[in-house]
Structure 1
C-alpha cells in the first residue's frame, strides 16, 4: 500500500507544479543605475568587455570621481556592499577615510573651546586619509575578472577627451566657488576665470588620467607609497594639513560582516559600523514590525515611522562609532527585544518631544555623496556609496593629482552635542582619534524577497538612512525600481525636532493631522537625495534600473541583454 501511495505521489508531482512560474537562476539582463550617464555608460562598456559587476563598479566609481567631483572621487572614501553569486556570499568593504595620526580630540576647537566649523570643513586640515583608491584595487584583485587597466580605461579616456559640465556640477559649484578659489590647483581644474563654468563646457583633466594610469599599473601601492604618496603628503602639509607618508602607507580597506535582518518575508542586507545607517535601518524596521503598519492610513503610518526614526537617530548619537575603536552594542540595537522596548515608549497618537528622550545635548543640508547599484548576468550585486562629504569636499587639490580632497573629519563629533554640517550630534563614541574612521550615514542595501532582489542606496548626508528606509518600504509594498526612486520623502533625525518634508509629500490635511499629533513640520521648497535602484525579478529574469528624477537628465539607469556579457 505504501509503495502504491509513493508511486501515485510521484505521478502527481509534475501536475502539482504545472502552473508554477518558471524561475530564472540568472538575470536575463544586466542593470546599472548611477547618478551620471557617463558613469553608467562606462560600467556597461566594461561589462561588454567581459567584466563582472565588480569590474563595472570600478569603472562607474572612477568615472563618477571625474564627472561628479562634487560628490566623490579618489580623494574620498566609501562603502561597497557586494554579493558574490558563485559562493552566495555577502561582503561589506569598508573604504571609509581615516583620521591622520597627528589628529587630536580637540583639533577643531578655538581658544574658547568652541567648534571652528571652517577648519573642519574647508581647507586641508579637514581631510582624512582617502580610501577609494585602495577600494578599487581591492575590488579588482579579489572580486573582479579584468585587470585595473581595462576597468579604468573608460574613465582615463573620458578624462582626456573631455566631459560636459552639467546642471548638478554647476549648482553645487556655485555654493562652493569662493572656497575653491582658495586652492590654486582646484580653481584651475574647476573654475573658468574665477567663475563657475557654463553648463555644457567641455572639461578635461589630464592629471586625473595620469593618476588612474598609476593606479592601473601599480595598484594601491603606487598611490599610498613612494613618490606619489610623498607628493600627496607634502602638498597637504603645504596647504595647512597634517598628513604624513606614514598615514598613507598605513591605509587599508577592511572587510566586515554586513548587518542582516528579516522583515515582512524579506531578507535585508545592509551596512554595519562605521556606518550608522544599517543599525538605524534595522532599529526602525524592528520597531515597525510590532504594528500592522501596511494596513494603516498615511498619517498613522507616518507618525509611527517618524517616532521610530527619532529613537534610532538618538541611539546613533549615543552609541555608534568606528568598530575598531568603539565596542558599540550593535546586537542590542538591532535586536527584536530592544525594538519592543522602544515601541513601548511610542504613544500611538502623540509625538514624543526629542528632549524627553535622555542622552544627547542639544545647518543646512546640501546634496553630497553619490551611489550606484549594479546587477550583472551572473547574479553578482554591487551597492556602492562613495563620498568626499560636502560638495567638492574640502575644496583643495594637491597640484598634479587631479582630484579634490575630502572633508570627512567633520563627520566626527568635533565636540559632544555640537552638530556637524548635516545637523547630526554625537558623543564620545564618534570622537576624533588618530587612525579612526568617522561615523557615516551611507547605507548601501540589498532587499531580497520571495521573487525579487533589489540593490539600492542614495546620497544625502544625515537623510541617507531615512531615504533608504522609505525606499525599502516602497519595495516591500511591491513597487518597481523607478517608482521607488520617484517616491516622495520625509525625514526626522532626533535633533532638530521636526519632520522635514519634500514638496508634495503630504497634503495640507495630512500635515494638519501630523501637527495635531504634536509633530513640528519643516516643509521644504526643495527635494533631496539621488537614489539609484536596480531590481532583479528572479521569477522572470528581467532587470529594471531606476534613477532618481530629482536631477533631471543627469543620472541614468540602463539594462542590456545578459547574453552580451556572458
Structure 2
C-alpha cells in the first residue's frame, strides 16, 4: 500500500535528501554511535525493575544462575504471564529494545501479534456500520496470533546464555505451586467477571467456585504450566505446532473465531533496527514501527530540541511539550502501520527539518486548537500493559514492553492451554478514522490484513548520555508514548530512577483536544497559566506503571525503581 503525496511530503521532499534516520527503501539506517565511553565499562552487578516482585525475583534468579539480561527477560516476561495476566502473557506479544554490551549493538525484537489470514473487517461492524466494540475487544475474534512465545524463544536462542527451559523454570514453578494474587489482579478479574463467565475455560481458570480468588488464596495455573513446559522442551515449535497449536485452534474455532494451524505455523518474531535520535547530547534508542511510540518520541524530541526547556517556567515548559505531543500524535494517526505492509514517510517524520517546520507553527503563549483537523472523541485510555527494565553485570540491557491490550485481554482462555488470548485486533483501524478503545485513530495504513501486525504504542527505550544510562518504559495505552517521553526528559534533567518512576504526568494525544493531568502535576499558578493559553485540563486518576533501571557509569552504580503507584512492583539491584 502506498500513500498519495500530500503537502507535508511535497514541502519537505528536497530537504530530506540526506541526514535522515531511514534509507530510501524505508528500512532503518544504522544508528549513530553512542556518546563516548558509553560501552567501555561493565557494572559488575545487575538490576531488574518490573511491575511484580515475583517477576523481578525470577529475573534475578536466572541472573544468579549465570544468565544474562536476555535470559532474565525471558524469566520476567513468562512469570508476568502467570502473576499479572491482566496486563500481559503467553497469549499476547511484546516489543523489546536490547543493547548488546559485547559489540555495542542495539537491536529491536518485534514479537507483536498478527491478524489471522481469514480476518474480515465486516466481523467488527454492527448492522448500521458502526464499530462493534464487543467483537473487537472480547472473545476469539478480538485475538491476534500471539507473538510472545516466539519472541521469548528468539531472545533465548539468539542472545541468551542459558537453555530456554532454565529461563522458563521460575514461571513454570510458580504456575504449578501457586501464588497469592495481588489486589490489582483480583480487581481485574472482578471487573471483567461478566465477560469471563461467557466462556467455560475462562470461568474455570479465573472464577474458582464462581467468584474471583479470595484475598490470601493460593492460585495455581497447571494448564499454562504445561504450555510453558512444551515451549521449554521444543522452543518455538512447542507453541506454534503440535499439541498446544491444535488446542488453540480448536478452542478458537469452537467459539466462533477464525484461526487456523497455518496462522500459527507461519508466525515469526522479527528482528528490526531500532530508531535512534540524538537530543541535547543524549542518544535515545527506541522502538520502530509497528510501534508508533518510537517515531512519536523522536518527532517530539526533534521539535523540543529547538528550545531550552531548562530555562523555562513550568507553564511555558509544559506548553511546548504539549504542542510537540499534539503534532506527533496527528502524524501517528495519519501515517503509521506495519512496515512489512505499508510504506511510511519515515524520512520526513524523523527529519530535524520537518520538526523545524512544525516548530514554526507553535505560538509562544497560546495553544494550537486540534480542531483544524477535527476527529471523533473517544474513551479514556487504559493501563493494561506491562514494562520491565534490566541491566546485567556485563552491561547488556533489555527494555521490554509486553501486552494483551485491554484488561484481561479478550477474556477468552483457550481450553486445555491456560492461555488467555489478547484482544489486539482492536489496535487495527477496524473502521478507518474511528477511535479504538484508547481513543487513537487510524487510516488505511493500519487496516487489518492477514499476517499483518497491528500498530502499537509500546515504547521500550534505552537512553545513553555522557555519564549515565537508563532503561525505561511504561504501560498505559496511548499514554505510553508521553509517559516514556517525560521519563526521558526527567532522566536528562538528572533525576534518579525513583524520581523518574514516581514523577507526576500529563498527556495530550491530539484528539480529544484535552490535556489529561495527574493530580499534583501542576500547581495552581501553572494550571491557571495553561488554562489562559487555551488548554483544557482534565484530571485522570490512572497512571503508571513505569519501571526504570539507571546506570551511573562514572560512579559505576546501578539503580532500579518500580512505579510507586503499584505496591506489588519491585526494582532491585543484585
- Is TM-score (shorter-chain normalized) higher than 0.5? yes
| Shift, 1:196, TM fit | 2.2
Structural RMSD (CA): 1.4
Q: TM-score, normalised by structure 1?
A: 0.93
Match of 1:4 in 2: none
Match of 1:418 in 2: 434
| Shift, 1:269, TM fit | 0.2
Alignment of 1:324-473 (within 5 A): 324-356=340-372, 358=373, 363-473=379-489
Q: 1:318 to 1:264 in 2, by over 3 A?
A: same
Query: 2:522 matched to 1:542?
Result: no
Q: 1:428 to 1:359 in 2, by over 3 A?
A: farther
Alpha-carbon distance in 2 for matches of 1:173, 1:22: 44
Partner of 2:559: helix, strand, or coil? strand
Partner of 1:87: helix, strand, or coil? coil
> Does the CA contact (< 8 Å) of 1:260 and 1:267 recur in 2?
yes
> Does the CA contact (< 8 Å) of 1:317 and 1:360 recur in 2?
no
Alpha-carbon distance in 1 for matches of 2:270, 2:84: 25
4+ residue segments displaced more than 6 Å:
21-24
Q: 1:22 to 1:88 in 2, by over 3 A?
A: closer
Q: Which of 152, 163, 175 pairs up with 1:159?
A: 175
Partner of 2:551: helix, strand, or coil? strand
Partner of 1:461: helix, strand, or coil? coil
Partner of 1:203: helix, strand, or coil? coil
Alpha-carbon distance in 2 for matches of 1:467, 1:314: 17
Query: 2:84 matched to 1:68?
Result: yes
Alpha-carbon distance in 1 for matches of 2:149, 2:78: 9
> Does the CA contact (< 8 Å) of 2:376 and 2:512 recur in 1?
no
Deviations 1:66-106 (A, max 9, x none): 00000011100010111111111100010000000001233
Alpha-carbon distance in 1 for matches of 2:222, 2:211: 21
Alpha-carbon distance in 2 for matches of 1:550, 1:416: 35
Partner of 1:29: helix, strand, or coil? coil
Alpha-carbon distance in 2 for matches of 1:215, 1:247: 18
Deviations 1:258-289 (A, max 9, x none): 00010011000000000000000001111111
> Does the CA contact (< 8 Å) of 1:548 and 1:555 recur in 2?
yes
Alpha-carbon distance in 2 for matches of 1:117, 1:337: 40
Deviations 1:454-485 (A, max 9, x none): 00000000100000000000000000111100
Deviations 1:353-393 (A, max 9, x none): 1011x385662333101000000001100000000000110
Deviations 1:124-161 (A, max 9, x none): 11000000000111111100000011111111111111
Partner of 1:56: helix, strand, or coil? helix
Match of 2:571 in 1: 557
Larger CA deviation: 220-229 vs 532-541: 220-229
Alignment of 1:53-132 (within 5 A): 53-132=69-148
> Does the CA contact (< 8 Å) of 1:503 and 1:527 recur in 2?
no
Partner of 2:201: helix, strand, or coil? helix
| Shift, 1:195, TM fit | 2.1
Deviations 1:212-265 (A, max 9, x none): 110011111121112321211111011111100000010001111100010011
Match of 2:297 in 1: 281
> Does the CA contact (< 8 Å) of 1:369 and 1:386 recur in 2?
yes
| Shift, 1:190, TM fit | 1.2
Alpha-carbon distance in 2 for matches of 1:24, 1:537: 13
Alpha-carbon distance in 2 for matches of 1:308, 1:24: 34
Match of 1:31 in 2: 47
Q: TM-score, normalised by structure 2?
A: 0.92
Deviations 1:321-365 (A, max 9, x none): 000011111121011000011111111111111011x38566233
Match of 2:547 in 1: 532
Q: 1:22 to 1:251 in 2, by over 3 A?
A: closer
Gaps of 5+ in 1: 1-20, 561-566
> Does the CA contact (< 8 Å) of 1:372 and 1:457 recur in 2?
yes
Alpha-carbon distance in 2 for matches of 1:254, 1:361: 34
Partner of 1:164: helix, strand, or coil? coil
> Does the CA contact (< 8 Å) of 1:445 and 1:457 recur in 2?
yes
Larger CA deviation: 171-180 vs 53-62: 171-180
Match of 1:5 in 2: none
Q: Which of 184, 197, 205 pairs up with 1:168?
A: 184
Query: 2:340 matched to 1:319?
Result: no
Alpha-carbon distance in 2 for matches of 1:334, 1:228: 42
Query: 2:483 matched to 1:486?
Result: no
> Does the CA contact (< 8 Å) of 1:82 and 1:383 recur in 2?
yes
Partner of 2:415: helix, strand, or coil? coil
Match of 2:311 in 1: 295
Match of 1:522 in 2: 538
